[in-house]
Structure 1
């Protein structure tokens, strides 16, 4: 596909790439505890470890010629990045605990940690869509946090999945698998952790 539809797909892919989606999710994560929105800074701190530092690593590796692009399209290049992201995420949880940050932010990070761990293992064999996983998890978690009024947000999930297929970054199966994984496993893990830890 070419022309205006490909442009739309490119915009969707860039606007809803995992670091952006996960940062937004971490910023709203303290909303389930008292003190929000004043506690959004803790979500921003979490995003530093979960999104900014791994993305900075990707950009450095691109400059060095070891990673092809910021979406890490080559499946073989994904496992080292995902393992580094795991380490960064664990460090983020540790820092938040040390400074007494809201438990809701740590709950979100731990749920994302579980997702990153599974993606790291799967990426060694198959290129499940990280875009689809992130947007599906974010949409479902947002609905669980704020209620049915946010259900229209779920429309973004197939839109982002469509963009990945149109751009030939993933097959339909990889997008569907990513969406199901994010919307059920990551969101489900967040729900269980919230019930257990808060």
Structure 2
């Protein structure tokens, strides 16, 4: 067995004993199931990243002891196995998860040291005195002429120890179920996002850097769990208002800026498009509120929406006409999606209240991603569940209305991208 495998084993043994000490309701068999699930998940995600290497025989799918574990795959395995165990034994899912994740950073810290012996998980070249020497055969080809690199494995090991210490301290002070899980998700997601800035051995699926995507997802989940553990509803409402208002508007503004940055139209045309898609709707909302046509800026009452939405529909239709005449595929796709989604939402709202906050936020996120087409832009997807939570927390919508707004928008995006040819 390699030193890497030995260190992983040591970390697991320590973790098992500590978990059993703090949560006696689960047996050694349960912990073994969790560990096996974590191993399968971690190895499975790693193999997905390296399908080509497996096909040509560079990687042995079974040789876990030689390295090759994708952490987030392991975390998903842990979550699934704990969920099954909690249902089978009628125990609290979050309680088991709290006890498991409390000690996971310690196991991770020990395991990261093993990366040193495998000459993996190093960062960009550095001249700092603590830079680690990497033999030539283990170097990334683009950095073949460099000898010393950032010891990312060491940085992450230290940060995981710090995370472990934070969780231990918080566990004594905050007993609410799910709190440790939330803090772990938030802390480790931030650690990975930070480390990814200097990591060079990044892994991709469909040209997306999976670590950033998973980090963002678990960061959002952590925030949502943390918000639900809060007992002060006034603070929760304040945070919800920020997500509902500021975050949604910010996404819309960023979407318009992204679109304009990627178009090559004359400035006057871009100004008209920006006016039609942002200025006209905002001014109409403000004017209708001042005239008493609507009772609030959120247009919460369904009966007040038709006249406002009719004005916006005309404005969006004119923008689509300009887009078609411009022959810009980007603009045609964007404004076709906007008009189709808005029209269907408009029709639905005549009979039933649907969440337009979800429609706007998802459309804006799609427009940003479609315009910029960068892996980083996909991280904005993570704001959507926060906006959904805010609408539920503020009791502006029911869960069904939020889901309906989400599904309607995603369906329209899919239809435009799949069936409409330009």
Q: Do Structure 1 and Structure 2 share a fold, with TM-score over 0.5? A: yes
The one of 83, 86, 90 equivalent to 2:313 is 86
CA separation of 1:55/1:30 partners in 2, compared to 1, >3 Å: closer, same or farther? closer
Instruction: Write out aligned runs for 1:1-198 (5 A).
Output: 2-17=233-248, 20-29=250-259, 36=262, 45-96=272-323, 100=326, 102-143=328-369, 146=373, 148-182=375-409, 184-192=410-418, 196-197=421-422
Aligned residue pair count: 189
Query: Which protein has the larger Cα radius of gyration, Structure 1 or Structure 2?
Result: 2
Whether the 8 Å CA contact 1:114–1:186 is kept in 2: the answer is yes
Per-residue CA deviations over 1:152-190 (Å, capped at 9, x if unaligned) read 3222111001101111111111111112222x2232244
Kept in 1, the 8 Å contact 2:288–2:308? The answer is no
The Cα of 1:48 is off from its aligned counterpart by 1.4
Shift of 1:109: 1.4
Checking the alignment, whether the CA contact within 8 Å between 1:59 and 1:70 is kept in structure 2 is yes
Unaligned runs of 5+ in 2: 1-231
- Runs of 5+ in structure 1 lacking a partner? none
Separation (CA, whole Å) in 2 of partners of 1:189 and 1:23: 25
Larger RCO (CA within 8 A; separation ≥ 6): 1
Q: Distance in 2 between matches of 1:189 and 1:25?
A: 20
Aligned residue for 1:3, secondary structure, equals: helix
Distance in 2, matches of 1:173 and 1:23, equals 27
The 1:96/1:151 distance shift into structure 2, 3 A limit, reads closer
Q: CA RMSD in A?
A: 2.7
State the TM-score, normalized to the length of structure 1. Answer: 0.80
- Relative to structure 1, the CA distance from residue 105 to residue 45 in structure 2 (aligned partners, 3 Å threshold; closer, same or farther) is farther
